[in-house]
Amino acid sequence: MMKLLLIAGTGGFLGTVSRFLVSRYFQNLFFSSFPFGTFVVNIAGCLLIGIFFGLSQKGNILGPEWRMFLTVGFCGGFTTFSTFASENLALLKDGNFFYFALYTGLSVFLGLMATYLGNTFILKII
């Protein structure tokens, strides 16, 4: 159990640091009330988890420890639903209803599509 905690925790640390850097980069790149930073990391995380699950499904390329490290750890630390919810609440409070609808709709639709495409892509090439 301790080994799994260390594996997931290390992946989570690396995912969190990556989220901070990527999110900050994209938020500073686009000066807007639209939360581009969180949007980019959440969609990228969906694509990555699709790829990682595809790798674990196809011929056991990823063992259980690597899958734990990459999906629960890294992707869990990299993506963030709580920030997504908080940013949506802020958009609503500020009266940015268009950005609220755009952010919510695109996040759900593109997140599902990215997960599907990552999984499908990796299963086809392996």
- Using the predicted structure, report yes or no on whether residue 4 has a pLDDT greater than 80: yes
- Using the predicted structure, report yes or no on whether residue 59 has a pLDDT greater than 80: no
CB-count exposure of residue 63 (10 Å: 0-12, 13-18, 19+) = exposed
- Using the predicted structure, report yes or no on whether residue 97 has a pLDDT greater than 80: yes
The CA distances from residue 41 to 1, 10, 124, in Å, are 29, 19, 25
Per-residue pLDDT band at 123 (split at 50, 70, 90): confident
Cβ pair 120, 56 in contact under 8 A: no
Task: Give the mean pLDDT of the chain.
Answer: 95
Q: Which helix (H) or strand (E) holds 60?
A: none
Closest of 7, 16, 4, 2 to residue 75, by C-alpha: 16
The reported pLDDT for the residue numbered 62 is 87
**Coil vs helix vs strand at 96:** coil
